[in-house]
Amino acid sequence: MSRISEVIDRIQSVRDYTAGLVDAVPESDWFRQPAEGVTHVAWQVGHMAMAQYRLALDLVRGVQPGDDELIGARVLETYGKDSIPDPDPAANARVEEIRNAYDAVHRAVIREIGGMDDSILDEPSSRPHPVFDTKGGALEWSAWHEMLHAGQIGLIRRLLGEKWLR
């Protein structure tokens, strides 16, 4: 198996797990913050879409024409690094817009990055990052970052009174 296939498999495995958590939260609960200092599911999903776009597409192949169809400016801005979750639905993108970006970015990563040669993994990422310095590192961090947020979604679900998923 190629190195790029291994990375893509990791990204897909994490998404399969995360999507199960996301799918288990009713849309009516997406903007509920169960406690002070805790985000909401809409912020988590929007943030994962933004981060996967930045890490696995932007830092690997650069911004491309048509990327705004994958993820709009509102999702990039509202759920970016250092953004502050707001439970008011009017201050957020719509659930459908967030979910569409989350899904579209992921499909693009699997399609585009999955078709690249292993040699790209050792190339420097297009911008510096404190955790990695190669495109392969950006892709690996994309999977790790999403798993971190999957844990937060699991905690939010429990704080909202949801049962454990099997």
Please report the pLDDT score of residue 165 as a whole number.
65
Please report the pLDDT score of residue 166 as a whole number.
58
Mean local confidence (pLDDT), 10-37: 94
For residue 58, pLDDT beyond 90 = yes
Q: Where are the domains of the chain?
A: 3-159
Please report the pLDDT score of residue 162 as a whole number.
79
Please report the pLDDT score of residue 29 as a whole number.
94
Contact in structure between 34 and 66 (CB atoms under 8 Å): no
**Is pLDDT larger for residue 118 or for residue 165?**
118
Please report the pLDDT score of residue 36 as a whole number.
79
Listed residue (43, 59, 23) closest to 133, CA to CA: 59
For residue 35, pLDDT beyond 90 = no
User: What's the fold here for domain 3-159?
Assistant: Four Helix Bundle (Hemerythrin (Met), subunit A) (1.20.120)
d(CA 40, CA 107): 24
Mean local confidence (pLDDT), 47-59: 98
Mean local confidence (pLDDT), 80-91: 95
Rg, Å, the chain Cα set: 16
Burial of 15 (0-12, 13-18, 19+ CB in 10 A): buried
Mean local confidence (pLDDT), 47-71: 97
Question: What average pLDDT does the chain have?
Answer: 95
